[in-house]
Structure 1
Amino acid sequence: MEFTAGGRLEVRITPADVGKRVSVRRLSDGGAADGAFTDTVGVLTSWNDGVVVITRRDGQSVRIAEHTLVAGKVVPAAPARRRGPAATFAELSRAAARAWTPVERERLGDWELRSAAGPVAPAAAGGGDAAGRRAGFTRRANSVLPLGGPGMPLDDALTYVRRWYAERGLPAYVQTATGAEGTQEQLCADLQERGWAREVTAELRIGALAPVGDLDADTGRVALSRDLDAAWLRRYRRTGEPGPHVVRVLTGGPSVWFAAVPGDGGVPAAVGRCVVDGRWAGFMAVEVDPDARRQGLATAVMAALARRALDEGASAAWLQVEEDNDAARALYSGMGFSVHHRYHHYREPRRPDA
């Protein structure tokens, strides 16, 4: 990382650069005594009372004492071009949102409040925050999707959000994104400052669709259907007893396909879901029986769905994978998917009696 100007380190950022992508160098914890430095790249999200806060592309906020800065500069907002199809954050966010259709939604400026709540969940032992709460199927359909400003001061918007979800017996979540041009590092920092806790971070990956369809896989045993049946749901392990709200979310979307590989006892050995939306094919809900792993079933499901999406005119693909799912990340990397941006779910502060 190059900071020198005529051989001299310079701090060329000021509080006026809040909101811009910057690169800084600071003295390490050992200070000037060990002569070591630490570099940080991200969005400058605040500079107050001698503390600089930079939010990195992974959503982590780094607090830096101003007096430890030895160099800093503004860098281009757009990261280096990635492999795969060109795509903007806004385009991908809207495509992903259409693939997880909520049961109920409401607009708040350019925020969308989304709910897909099921029956009241059993009270947790000892009561507290979980007692009497409803079960919301998938955070993606039970969180605020901000694609701009809420049309009011942030604190007022968050008060409205918390009340809206409380009325539905759900905890309030805000979904944010980092790591691409136009993402929401500033909102991440603002939420953290207000006590909202980040619970989940996932990658949104993109890739060309044709190579997925060309994968060497036994797709002949994969059955594709427009219908979601009870057998498919028994293999899908992301929910308990699936209610109508689960079915409504899974069957919602522009053009939805379900894949299943027959298994023992009437339960598929593997399943998957694909939503075709214009040029995009979104892959999700890929599940394999633990006893049938390493047999190429996930690859076969992906390839079969990709070929159907190609037939419908799609050319690009996206998927979402949590950052701690190393096996899935390795599989998707081998298929040509690369990270476009990361998204995070921030939960409202816990209630005092929780």
Structure 2
Amino acid sequence: MALPTVDAFERAGLEAWPGIDIKWDGSWVRRAAGGYTKRSNSVQCLDPEDGEDADLRVISASTWMVMRGIKPVFRITPLAAPELVETLDEAGWQEIDHSHLFAMELEAQERDPETKLFPVLDPAFLAAQQQLQGYDETTVTKLRNLLAACTVPATGVVVYRDGTAVASGLMAVAQGIVVTGNVVTDATRRRQGLAAAMMRSGLNWARSEGATVAALNVQAGNAAAQALYASLGYEHQYDYSYRIPGAR
């Protein structure tokens, strides 16, 4: 089985990790979600051939984001038009958060018996995320608002041990691809296989929802997470990064 194209992965990601306010400009998409994550609060180009008037479009998109109370951010993938990258380079935009997209064909996975699946707006899932991520109430509200915009099948995954939430993540299925995000493990209980148990349980659910491919994003510097995902069968597909205004 051949894995999907970069375009397919990126478009699935747009659905699985939504924006709240969205505006298209040709193949450039602007997304705002109250500032929760750069993925949902950034601009990206989905066609390398769509680079006309890149300088004016960067200004327009940046203004659009500022008017929504968020900082201008561009997500740069292999689909970004060269003219966009050149414009950002010339304006001195910094490159940050070099990351990878990992993916694999989705095969049968065994669900952990102490793992529970929740609707993404369920208070128990949000409480587990708040506890494990260390979120304050403002951040939890931003997460809740973003999840309320999700229109594809999605579930919150929480691993419990002795009644305590010890690992959690979010799974959403778009275009046959299950995209995983918000993976977190109790810092005092790492290297106990808890994140792997969470992943397998969520992927088990995704297969029941018709997913045939699994994908996720991981920062280039996070060797532990990359090792975990590789052990599950994920493989590196391509790189991406973000660009923000400022001196290089």
- Match for residue 176 of structure 2 among 273, 276, 279: 279
Match for 2:42: what amino acid?
Answer: S
Residue-pair matches, total: 241
1:146-181 deviation digits (Å, cap 9, x = unpaired): 113667511111111121112122210110113xxx
1:114-141 deviation digits (Å, cap 9, x = unpaired): 1011xxxxxxxxxxxxxxxxxx110000
Shift of 1:95: 0.4
Identity of paired residues, percent? 26
Show the counterpart of 1:176: 76
Structure with greater Cα Rg: 1
Match for 1:86: what amino acid?
Answer: L
The two structures have a TM-score, normalised by structure 2, of 0.88
Show the counterpart of 1:232: 128
Shift of 1:309: 1.0
Gapped regions of structure 2 (runs ≥ 5): none
SS at match of 1:321: strand
| Runs (4+) off by over 6 Å | none
Match for 1:255: what amino acid?
Answer: P
Shift of 1:189: 4.0
Is residue 2:12 matched to residue 1:87?
Answer: no
Mapped contact 1:235–1:270 kept (Cα < 8 A):
no
Match for 1:220: what amino acid?
Answer: P
Is residue 2:110 matched to residue 1:200?
Answer: no
| Structure in which a larger fraction of residues adopt helix | 2
Shift of 1:247: 0.8
Gapped regions of structure 1 (runs ≥ 5): 1-83, 118-135
Show the counterpart of 2:39: 140
Alignment of 1:112-131 (within 5 A): 112-117=29-34
Mapped contact 1:85–1:316 kept (Cα < 8 A):
no
Show the counterpart of 1:262: 160
The two structures have a TM-score, normalised by structure 1, of 0.63
Change (3 A) 1:237 1:163: same
Show the counterpart of 1:13: none
Show the counterpart of 2:188: 291
Shift of 1:243: 4.6
Show the counterpart of 1:160: 60
Mapped contact 1:283–1:318 kept (Cα < 8 A):
yes
Aligned counterparts of 2:58 and 2:82: Cα–Cα separation in 1: 17
Aligned counterparts of 1:283 and 1:159: Cα–Cα separation in 2: 32
Q: Which has the higher contact order (CA 8 A, sep 6+)?
A: 2
